[in-house]
Amino acid sequence: MVKKKICMIGAYAVGKTSLVQRFVKSIFSEKYLTTIGVKIDKKSLNIDGTKLDLILWDIHGEDDYQKVQSSYLVGSAGYFLVIDGTRKNTLEVAEYLNQMINITVGKIPFYLLINKVDMKDEWEIDDNIIEKIKQKGWKYYFTSAKTGEAVELAFLELSRDILKNQ
C-alpha cells in the first residue's frame, strides 16, 4: 500500500471542496461551504496494479484576507491548482500559488483544473489564455464538480504521474 498526499489549492470559491466531494463520494452540493484551514479526505485506488491511498488536503482558498500556509504543502507528492473558468483573476492566484509550491516543495507533479466547464457560456478564460497555459507546459483539464466531467480522469492521471515520479 502506497500513501500519497495531494493538495487542492487555488483562490476562494473555485470549487476545490466540490471537486474532492465529487471524486471521493460522487456527490455535488449547490451549497457553498467555506473551508477553514484544511479538510482532509482519503480515497483508495488501484493504479495499474498498485494499491494507492490518496490523502487529499483541501486547503482553504487564497484571498486578500487568508493566505495559504506553505507548511500545509510540505510532504505533498502532487497537487491540483484549481481555477474558476468564470473568474479570470483566479488564474493569477494559481500562478502565484504555483511559484510558492515550487519554492516550498520543489517541482512535483500537478495539473491545472479549469473548473465550472458546465458554465462555459459565462467563462472569462478564453482560447488566448488557454494558449498561454499550454506555452507554460502545464497539464490541464476542463472539469465540472457539478457534472463530474473529467474529475476522476484528472485524479487518476495525477496519481499515475506521482507513482512514476516516486
CATH number at residue 112: 3.40.50.300
Q: How far is CA 166 from CA 4, 47, 108, in A?
A: 10, 14, 10
Report the pLDDT value the prediction gives residue 133, as an integer from 0 to 100.
Answer: 97
pTM: predicted TM-score of the whole model, two decimal places:
0.96
For β-strands 50-59 and 38-47, DSSP reports them as antiparallel
Q: Count the domains in the chain.
A: 1
Side-by-side strand order, sheet with 140-143 = 38-47, 50-59, 2-10, 76-84, 110-115, 140-143
Average pLDDT, the chain: 95
Report the pLDDT value the prediction gives residue 34, as an integer from 0 to 100.
Answer: 84
Residues 47/160, Cβ–Cβ less than 8 Å: yes
By mean pLDDT, which of 34-38, 54-58, 120-124 is the weakest?
34-38
Q: What domain range is 69 assigned to?
A: 2-165
pLDDT at residue 146 is higher than 80: yes
Over range 77-82, report the average pLDDT: 98
